[in-house]
Amino acid sequence: MQDNLFGAPPTHPKHSAATPDSANHDDAAPATPRRRSNEVRPLPPDDATRALAAGLNPRIRLGASTWSYPGWAGIVWDEGPYSESVLAKNGLSAYAQHPLLRCVGIDRSFYRPLTEGQYALYAAQVPDDFRFVVKAPALVTDALVRGEQGHGRQPNTAFLDPALAVQEFITPALAGLGDKVGALVFQLSPLPFSQLQRLPLLLERLRAMLKALPDVRGATPDGVIAVEVRDPEWLSPAIAPRLAAVLKETGATYGLGLHAKMPRLAEQLPLLRALWPVPMVCRWNLNPLHGACGYEDAQRMYEPYDRIHDVDHETRELIVRTVRGVTSAGQNAYVTISNKAEGCAPLSARALAERLAQR
């Protein structure tokens, strides 16, 4: 089980040979508890941050794509300093105490399926009203088996396999996270050319998989299945209506994937409108000014992710408008943000919150 994130109880100071007078002083200052080496302390929120969070529609859930960034010292954590490994292991509880960060992404599940116990450890570190946005394993969402550098090596025979989707993702996530399930995201990785020529066939396989899944919306207070794509061909006039029909039939929502390889948000919103009203799941991953292959450029330019570098005004405004529309219709809105979107995910979340609070 994870170490206590707030440290052990204060220990009594050791006494050297004390004089009678010093031993009898009842008003001596208490010893300051020492920080344990693996302890992460949250930055105490100020009154303005608390007021901003309290004024938001409770259906609005803003957060980051993950939480292990030392550059967030003085923004999410106290001044630390903390290493990335310490934050990855022990930072979630401190992250979840930030009033504006009411959800977070779990991406590691994409690379290897997580167990019920691993999900339960995450759930134990956050308050009851916190939610997780979790990526399904590449085992069922990638048409290719890839090498360490990401290059496809061979076809993946488990792609969109209903039984594996349930066994390796939905069942352990529901059991481990319980009521803290937010969005369970099937992000369909970029397809090889041969598969892009057969999207109608893939739609039927997607329908079969989604219909085989347990009822996530019925089993949890706020849970939803989302399907996110990484090829613009899914949004073509011939395919988008059919994709919308599959999602509507199976009770899933369309995941807005704001990645440079996909069209801008304005071009993805018609598919979400075709499902109306449904929850909004938006993963704001990368600033489009870096181009289709600019992830490494953004990382190099924005580290250590302690400030906003490039404001994406268009995306901010469209997210705000969409969140307002979705939540006013009684649906939940999940927006997780990468540091590569503008430079610092928690500050981007605050900017969205400030705009959403305006009347």
Residue 22 belongs to a domain: no
Residue 197 belongs to a domain: yes
**pLDDT at residue 20, rounded to an integer:** 38
Dist CA 359 CA 355 (whole Å): 9
The SS3 call for residue 251 is: coil
Read off the pLDDT of residues 174-231 as tens digits, 9 standing for 90 and up.
999 999 999 999 999 999 999 999 999 999 999 999 999 999 999 999 999 999 999 9
Which token pair is 202?
């893939």
Q: pTM for this structure?
A: 0.89
Fill in the DSSP letter of residue 232. Answer: G
Residue 1 belongs to a domain: no
Read off the pLDDT of residues 231-263 as tens digits, 9 standing for 90 and up.
999 999 999 999 999 999 999 999 999 988 899
Residue 17 belongs to a domain: no
DSSP 46-91: PHHHHHHHHTS-TTEEEEES----GGGBTTTB-S----HHHHHHH-
Bridge partners of residue 181, in order along the sequence:
132
Closest CA to 94 of 78, 109, 71: 78
Residue 28 belongs to a domain: no
Proportion of the chain in helix, strand, coil states, percent, rounded to 5: 40, 15, 45
Number of domains in the chain: 1
Residue 18 belongs to a domain: no
Domain CATH code at residue 193: 3.20.20.410
Whole-number Cα distances in Å, 154 to 138, 168, 209, 294, 359:
14, 21, 22, 26, 53
Residue 145 belongs to a domain: yes
DSSP 282-336: EEE---GGG-TT-HHHHHHHHTT--S--S--HHHHHHHHHHHHHHHHTT--EEEE
- For residue 342, the enclosing domain spans 38-357
DSSP 166-223: IIIIIHHHHHHHGGGEEEEEEEEPPPPHHHHTTHHHHHHHHHHHHHHS--HHHHSSS-
Q: What are the residue ranges in the chain where pLDDT is below 50?
A: 1-29, 32
Closest CA to 137 of 153, 118, 114: 114
Give the side-chain half-sphere CA count within 13 A for 62. Answer: 25
Dist CA 15 CA 37 (whole Å): 24
Bridge partners of residue 188, in order along the sequence:
229
Which token pair is 259?
């990645």
**pLDDT at residue 317, rounded to an integer:** 98
Fill in the DSSP letter of residue 235. Answer: G
Angle between helices 313-328 and 265-274 (to 10 degrees): 10
Burial of 23 (0-12, 13-18, 19+ CB in 10 A): exposed
| Residue whose entry in the numeric block shows the structure tokens 């608390």 | 50
Dist CA 21 CA 27 (whole Å): 12
